[in-house]
Structure 1
Amino acid sequence: MINKKGQPGKTRSEQAVETRQCLLDTAKKLFATNGYTLTSVRSINRELSMSDGILYHYFPGGKKEILSVILREGLQRSFAVMSELNDELEDMPLREALNRIYWQGDRLFSDDPDLFQILLKESDNLELNETQLLSDVLLERTKWFTGFLARRYENGEIREMDFSIASQNFWASSLTNWIGKLLKIEFLRKLESDTDREKIIEHTLNLWRIP
């Protein structure tokens, strides 16, 4: 396919992928800003100057299906980004590894705040499979980090403790940071701040160090 400038244009398949993503991005922004209930199919199409039929062509289930896809693909993407770090983190000094995990977690929020806004605001509209996916993502990261701490103990870097509880407490810091940003709670330490992040890590290491 050649466009008017004589350059290769987008194929129908590429155009379809682009249209689908535009619908998802627009709906996500509206859901995060106005809420799921107050966002109509027509308002999504109006933002993109599309007819109502186009949205239903890509998402026959309407905005309920769109919400499900936004959450599913967003959570899967976040999980993939975090999981890609696993091997790299194993070889890092512990302090550096904790800093990287916290920093990456904050970046996930900063890169896609609308996703977390929707998760916080639309809990009543989540289907069982979407809630389960979020639970699975958190459980998988907690399970991996539990093993990570156990291996650090075997290497003599930290003391023996309940690694599962330590893992849950560690991830709770990231969750607290995300919720604090969403609710604009200023008194919480911020993981995007190098100084605050270093203080949190130092406090954590003091709890984990061998007496």
Structure 2
Amino acid sequence: MTRNIRKEQAAETREKILEAAKSLFAEKGYHGTPVREITRKIGMGDGILYHYFPGGKREIMAVLLRESFEHRREGIKQIQRVVEGLDLRDAMITIKRRLYELFTEDMDLTRILFRENDLLGFEEAEQLTVLIREQCAIFEKFLRERHEKGEIRALDFRIASRQFLSTTLHAIMSKSVGIQLLNEPDVYKHMEENVDFTIDLWRIPSATEKKPKVLLCDSQ
């Protein structure tokens, strides 16, 4: 029983250190946050931090990034499963909503990713690019399958995938920096408008639209 309590206490302390560091990294930046400030935030000495994270601040950042990407990668897999049985419009709206929520549910970490990604040089930080590329590939496959079902016309699916997902990334960045970058302040309404506009561009032309226009000339 005592051993289990100690394990729980250790896990709780580790989590407190991670949460304190994440909050400070988001507020002051990685390089602007000394170890002492992290331990002061949780009311403990510097030694306790190195007990749980021998690599210090660098190891903490690596753990935060790694655990974040594991969570988000699993979230993307869940999105794939959810949209399989949905019609095209509902599926596309769900993809946008879920991705947006997946990245904005923890704004501290999202701000760290956008702010520090080019500065840190962590191998884990590069996973943001990898994750985005993976999602583009997944959505490209989704579009090909919907084309085979006759729901959309033939496209450059790779470019279409990147273009569609970039609008979601735009919304995430808007929330991250706290600047209104969207034309529509209601982000979910903006998503629906974007999906409707995109589907209209991708839809298969009707028979009437396919017919060439015949120009009638006045008789001489």
Name 2:130's counterpart in structure 1. 136
* Counterpart pick for 1:28 among 12, 18, 22: 22
TM-score (norm 2): 0.87
Return the letter of the residue paired with 2:64: I
Measure, in 2, the Cα distance between the counterparts of 1:77 and 1:190: 29
User: What code does the residue aligned with 2:15 have?
Assistant: Q
Give 1:69 shift.
1.1
1:96 aligns with 90
1 CA distance for matches of 2:44 and 2:70? 28
Cα deviation for residue 10 of structure 1 reads 5.6
Q: Answer with 101-110 or 171-180: which moved more.
A: 101-110
Tell me, yes or no, if the aligned pair for 1:98 and 1:201 is still in contact at 8 Å.
yes
> How many residue pairs align between the two structures?
205
Query: Corresponding residue for 2:201?
Result: 207
CA distance in 1, matches of 2:136, 2:145: 14
Among 12, 36, 42, the alignment partner of 2:36 is 42
Q: Which runs of 5+ in 2 are unaligned?
A: 206-220
In 2, are the aligned partners of 1:109 and 1:116 still within 8 Å (CA)? yes
The residue that corresponds to 1:117 in the other structure is 111
Residues 191 and 197 of structure 1 are in contact (CA less than 8 Å); yes or no, is this contact kept in structure 2? Answer: no
- The offset of 1:191, in angstroms, is 8.6
CA contact (8 A) 1:177 1:189 kept: no
Q: How does 1:40-79 map to 2 (within 5 A)?
A: 40-79=34-73
Q: Distance in 1 between matches of 2:183 and 2:113?
A: 22
Separation in 2 of the partners of 1:44 and 1:91? 46
Asked if the contact 1:152/1:158 (under 8 Å) is kept, the reply is: yes
**Separation in 1, partners of 2:49, 2:145:** 49
* Contact 2:174/2:182 (8 A) holds in 1: yes
TM-superposed deviation, 1:208: 1.0
Deviation, structure 1 residue 42: 0.6
TM-score when scaled to structure 1? 0.90
Q: Is the 8 A contact 2:65 2:125 kept in 1?
A: no
Compute the displacement of 1:157 (Å): 0.2
Could you tell me how far apart the structure 2 residues matched to 1:81 and 1:111 are? 12
Counterpart pick for 2:170 among 169, 172, 176: 176
Of the three residues 73, 76, 81, the one matched with 1:87 is 81
Kept in 1: contact 2:139–2:161 (CA 8 A) = yes
Q: Deviations over 1:63-85 (max 9, x none)?
A: 11111111111122112112112
Match among 154, 160, 168 for residue 160 of structure 1: 154
Change (3 A) 1:193 1:131: closer
- Bigger CA drift: 104-113 or 168-177? 104-113
Structure 1 unaligned residues grouped into runs of 5+ = 3-8
